[in-house]
């Protein structure tokens, strides 16, 4: 380039800074499902809703989501359809529930229902594989139970009414289910959580301002995981709840004892508006932030891991994300936003990948930060790009800061009877216990542990000089 071209280039960057940033913005903690899995529709928009319902249903104040694999959908002769799930979404401003009747059709509850069957500003929702769906019917101060035998939601019963005594509610907001069928309700204006058994009978309550185990202030979003659940890696049991005017996240035992807490200020987002939460297979906690147009992710101890998303309508962007839900078996994640919903698979991202040769101890120290538990494979190449040895192969590591070591030793590979590449490339190192001095490149592959591993991985590399 001549000097005029350079000046023009830098002026273009200054005038269009977002264009240069777009090239580097590609977070992969969440990734898109394959085209064959979604037929290219990974975002539900106003247009898609219009195609199904014309003008009868519009996105108006979407709130919580719930996802489940219905037993009624099971085909015992195959497992190929096990990722076909039902997603329920609360459309609070229109007092209805939008859900998929199948993988190609939608249904809606609340358009024609009258009297006791009609919802009033619902917010929270939870569901199980048997077809039970529980809704926090906020404006009617009750919990509504619907039933889905396979293709359509039907009214079943109502639980409670307005009041402060056990079994009554004052603006119930969130609802969650554990594997035993117990129902957990954030009774917002009574500043407590109530727990009901599977027969809708009151079991216990906690969180009110005189509670010594924990105190809740206007609790809203809630999620639960328990040790009896099949898709629970650590077999933990706990509740996650958002309270204190959408600023605080608390982790509680199933009986209400505070186990951990954090808030928006500690996470570096003092202006956050935390709305809904979900727990994944590893007990990691996801929280939507309407104000910052993103999802915050924490580990099972409520230590901050990463932020995903930003304001916008392009890929991996949100406009006021609301409800969030995760199908724990396969890592399928759904997010509601101001005027639609998005569908992701859980992937993995890697930050601050570093390799350093320690001259004193004669080993290589590896450091990196994972946003998701992963399978890790590490290979070593020489300065001629020839394979030298393997440090690890699909080694499992949890999310967070990680470190590992390579002692410079050569692994003894057995040559493949068909492909003898390893034998050819490592022959000159066969008699060495350690690699000789020189320049090496460490190439690492990070694969998610969910179904996305077949379609996505992250690669990082670092150069070292062995002396």
Under the banding of pLDDT at 50, 70 and 90, the label for residue 50 is confident
- Average pLDDT over every residue of 257-285: 96
Phi-psi label, residue 4: left if phi above 0, alpha if psi -120 to 50, beta otherwise:
alpha
Which DSSP category does 56 fall into? S
Average pLDDT, the chain: 89
Fold agreement between 27-346 and 350-466: no
Q: Which residue has the tokens 């603006």?
A: 171
pLDDT digits (tens, 9 = 90+) for 194-209: 999 999 999 999 998 6
Report the pLDDT value the prediction gives residue 412, as an integer from 0 to 100.
60
In 71-190, which ranges are E strands? 86-91, 96-100, 106-109, 125-127, 132-137, 142-147, 154-159, 172-177, 183-187
Report the pLDDT value the prediction gives residue 384, as an integer from 0 to 100.
92
pLDDT digits (tens, 9 = 90+) for 101-125: 987 889 999 999 999 999 999 999 9
Report the pLDDT value the prediction gives residue 368, as an integer from 0 to 100.
97
Residue 184 has pLDDT above 50, yes or no: yes
% of the chain surpassing 90 pLDDT: 76
Domain boundaries, the chain: 27-346, 350-466
Q: Which residue has the tokens 């309508």?
A: 313
Calpha distance 204→199 (Å, rounded): 14
User: SS3 for 458?
Assistant: strand
Residue 427 has pLDDT above 90, yes or no: no
In CATH, 350-466 is 2.60.40.2550: yes
Phi and psi, residue 203, nearest 5°: -110, -55
Residue 6 has pLDDT above 90, yes or no: no
Higher pLDDT, residue 12 or 381: 381
Task: Name every residue whose Cβ is closer than 8 Å to that of residue 78 and which is 6 or more positions away in sequence.
Answer: none
Task: Name every residue whose Cβ is closer than 8 Å to that of residue 240 and which is 6 or more positions away in sequence.
Answer: 222, 223, 224, 249, 250, 251, 252, 277, 279, 285
Higher pLDDT, residue 2 or 105: 105
Calpha distance 434→440 (Å, rounded): 13
Report the pLDDT value the prediction gives residue 360, as an integer from 0 to 100.
87
Query: So what's the architecture of 27-346 in CATH?
Result: 6 Propeller (2.120)
Calpha distance 145→49 (Å, rounded): 25
Report the pLDDT value the prediction gives residue 124, as an integer from 0 to 100.
98
Chain CA centroid to CA 132, Å = 23
Distances (CA, A) of 327 to 63, 83, 302, 333, 423: 18, 9, 20, 7, 44
- Average pLDDT over every residue of 169-195: 97
pLDDT digits (tens, 9 = 90+) for 297-323: 999 999 999 999 999 999 999 999 999
């Amino acid at each position: 380039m001549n000097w005029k071209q350079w000046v023009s280039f830098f002026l273009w960057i200054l005038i269009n800074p977002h264009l240069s940033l777009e090239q580097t913005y590609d977070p992969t903690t969440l990734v898109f499902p394959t085209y064959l899995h979604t037929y290219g529709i990974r975002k539900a928009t106003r247009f898609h809703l219009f195609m199904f319902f014309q003008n009868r249903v519009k996105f108006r104040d979407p709130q919580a989501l719930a996802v489940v694999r219905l037993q009624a959908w099971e085909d015992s002769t195959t497992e190929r359809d096990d990722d076909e799930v039902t997603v329920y979404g609360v459309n609070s401003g229109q007092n209805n529930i939008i859900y998929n009747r199948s993988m190609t059709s939608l249904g809606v509850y609340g358009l024609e229902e009258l009297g006791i069957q009609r919802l009033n500003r619902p917010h929270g929702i939870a569901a199980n594989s048997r077809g039970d769906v529980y809704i926090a019917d906020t404006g009617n101060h009750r919990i509504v139970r619907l039933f889905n035998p396979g293709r359509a939601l039907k009214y079943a019963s109502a639980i409670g009414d307005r009041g402060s005594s056990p079994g009554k509610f004052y603006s119930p907001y969130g609802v969650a289910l554990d594997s035993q069928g117990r129902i957990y309700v954030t009774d917002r204006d009574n500043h407590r959580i109530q727990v009901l058994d599977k027969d809708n009978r009151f079991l216990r309550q906690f969180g009110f301002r005189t509670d010594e185990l924990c105190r809740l202030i206007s609790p809203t979003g809630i999620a639960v995981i328990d040790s009896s659940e099949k898709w629970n890696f650590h077999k933990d049991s706990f509740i996650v709840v958002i309270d204190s005017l959408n600023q605080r996240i608390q982790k509680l035992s199933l009986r209400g004892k505070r186990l951990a807490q954090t808030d928006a200020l500690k996470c570096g987002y003092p202006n956050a508006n935390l709305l809904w939460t979900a727990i994944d297979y590893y007990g990691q906690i996801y929280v939507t932030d309407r104000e910052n147009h993103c999802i915050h992710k924490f580990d099972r101890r409520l230590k901050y891991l990463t932020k995903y998303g930003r304001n916008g309508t392009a890929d991996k962007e949100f406009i006021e994300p609301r409800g969030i839900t995760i199908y724990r078996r396969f890592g399928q994640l759904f997010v509601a936003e101001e005027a639609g919903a998005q569908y992701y698979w859980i992937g993995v991202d890697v930050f601050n990948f570093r390799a350093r040769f320690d001259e004193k101890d004669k080993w290589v120290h590896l450091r990196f930060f994972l946003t998701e538990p992963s399978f890790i494979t590490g290979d070593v190449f020489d300065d001629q790009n020839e394979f030298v040895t393997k440090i690890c192969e699909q080694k499992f590591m949890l999310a967070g800061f990680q470190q590992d070591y390579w002692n410079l030793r050569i692994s003894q590979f057995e040559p493949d009877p068909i492909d003898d590449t390893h034998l050819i490339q490592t022959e000159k190192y066969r008699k060495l216990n350690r690699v000789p001095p020189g320049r090496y490149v460490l190439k690492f592959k990070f694969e998610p542990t969910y179904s996305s591993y077949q379609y996505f991985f992250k690669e990082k590399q670092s150069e070292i000089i062995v002396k």
